[in-house]
C-alpha cells in the first residue's frame, strides 16, 4: 500500500468546492488542501482493490466500492 501522504491529490479541487457551494455551504481551505479528503478517497480505493484481488480480479469494478 502506498503511503497516503506520498500520493498526489486524487480529486479536482474546483469540482469539490463547486459541489459544496451547490449545497449552500462554504469550503474550508483545509478540506481542499489538507490530507483528510484525499486519505478518505485512498482508503475507499484501497478497499476496492483488496476486494477485487480477493475475488481473483485485477479489474476494480463498481461493485468493489
pLDDT at 25: 98
Query: Residue 22: which region, alpha, beta or left (left: phi > 0; alpha: psi -120 to 50)?
Result: alpha
Instruction: Record the pTM.
Output: 0.84
pLDDT at 62: 98
pLDDT at 7: 81
Q: Residue ranges per domain, the chain?
A: 28-58
pLDDT tens-digit map of 10-41: 999 999 999 999 999 999 999 999 999 999 99
Which whole number is the average pLDDT over 43-57? 98
Whether the pLDDT of residue 3 is over 60: the answer is no
Amino acid at each position: 500500500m502506498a503511503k497516503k501522504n506520498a500520493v498526489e491529490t486524487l480529486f479536482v479541487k474546483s469540482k469539490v468546492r463547486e459541489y459544496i457551494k451547490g449545497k449552500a455551504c462554504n469550503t474550508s481551505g483545509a478540506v481542499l488542501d489538507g490530507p483528510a479528503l484525499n486519505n478518505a478517497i485512498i482508503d475507499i480505493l484501497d478497499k476496492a482493490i483488496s476486494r477485487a484481488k480477493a475475488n481473483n480480479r485485477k479489474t476494480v469494478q463498481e461493485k468493489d466500492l
